[in-house]
Amino acid sequence: VLSELKELEKLKVVSEIAASISHEVRNPLTVTKGFLQLLQDKTLQDEKKDFYIKLSLDELERAEIIISDYLTFAKPSLKNIEPLELNTEVHYILKVISPYATMRDVHIEFEQVNDIYIAGERQKLHQCLINIAKNGIEAMPDGGNLTLQISNSNEMATISIIDTGIGMTEEQIRRLGTPYYSTKSTGTGLGTMVTTSIIKAMRGKISVSSKLGIGTTFTITIPQIDKARKDRI
């Protein structure tokens, strides 16, 4: 199954999302505030106390996840665009995700190629690769392999993130990138949306190929820049 994410449709909802995100975050904050007020009661039983604290922590964690998935969805700013060498950037994200992978028995492989440059915002590229890699790891509840490949041809740089996880149905692929679409109990359904928007901003494309029970491959293609010219952008 191969399908290119239909970015335009999905980007139309951006402004609605901005509004609903603040709503999503405000909810847990309001709930937590309420519990903290209850906790001021000195006569409260320990059991109740523990219960309120647990719910507050859960709610705060939810807010935290929403913010971290959404963080870089903000408008790309031109001033932060710089030449990025893919090898270096992929190494960076491997450092970030490897504890998460180890925890879940996921083995990571990186097939590196030197001197492939693109123009973009470092943090945003990181965020988008981390989102995809994280999804890959989460798709392998019993462990597996996550492979990252980079390559270049015809002035395009390609990054592939391949997992040996649960895979997706055609219907799931179609819904990918739709705000709040998630099959996970604690998922936000924002990761893919953010990723898609970042790649679009870099004039790139993202495609996904997936097979149920076999795994999923995300392929990102971004215009390459010339190494010799890299200082001039």
Residue 100 touches which of Mg ion, ligand ADP, none (Cβ within 5-8 Å per kind):
none
Nearer to ligand ADP, 12 or 232 (CB): 12
Stretch that binds ligand ADP, among 4-12, 41-49, 94-102, 162-170 (CB under 6 A): 162-170
> Is 215 a residue that touches Mg ion (CB under 5 A)?
no
Q: How far apart are CA 215 and CA 168, in angstroms?
A: 8
Kindly write down the DSSP assignment for every residue of the chain, as one continuous string.
-EEE--HHHHHTTHHHHHHHHHHHHHHHHHHHHHHHHHHT-TT--HHHHHHHHHHHHHHHHHHHHHHHHHGGGSPP-GGGEEEEEHHHHHHHHHHHHHHHHHHTTEEEEEE--S--EEEEEHHHHHHHHHHHHHHHHHT-TT-EEEEEEEEEETTEEEEEEEE-S----HHHHHHTTSTT---STT--S-HHHHHHHHHHHTT-EEEEEEETTTEEEEEEEEEEE-TTTGGG-
Nearer to ligand ADP, 121 or 138 (CB): 138
Residue given tokens 């932060």 in the structure block: 80
Stretch that binds ligand ADP, among 53-61, 78-86, 88-96, 160-168 (CB under 6 A): 160-168
Residues contacting ligand ADP: total by CB under 6 A: 22
From residue 184 to residue 213, what is the string marking binding to ligand ADP with x (rule CB under 6 A)?
x--xxxxxxx--------------------
Nearest one of 158, 96, 165 to 137, comparing CA atoms: 165
Residue 159 touches which of ligand ADP, Mg ion, none (Cβ within 5-8 Å per kind):
none
Binder of ligand ADP out of 168, 198, 220, 222 (CB under 6 A): 168
Stretch that binds Mg ion, among 35-43, 90-98, 130-138, 164-172 (CB under 5 A): 130-138
Closest separation in Å from C-beta 134 to ligand ADP:
7
Nearer to ligand ADP, 47 or 171 (CB): 171
Residue 184 touches which of Mg ion, ligand ADP, none (Cβ within 5-8 Å per kind):
ligand ADP
| Number of residues assigned to the chain | 233
> Is 191 a residue that touches Mg ion (CB under 5 A)?
yes
Site for ligand ADP, rule CB under 6 A:
131, 135-136, 139, 163, 165-166, 168, 172, 176, 181-184, 187-193, 216
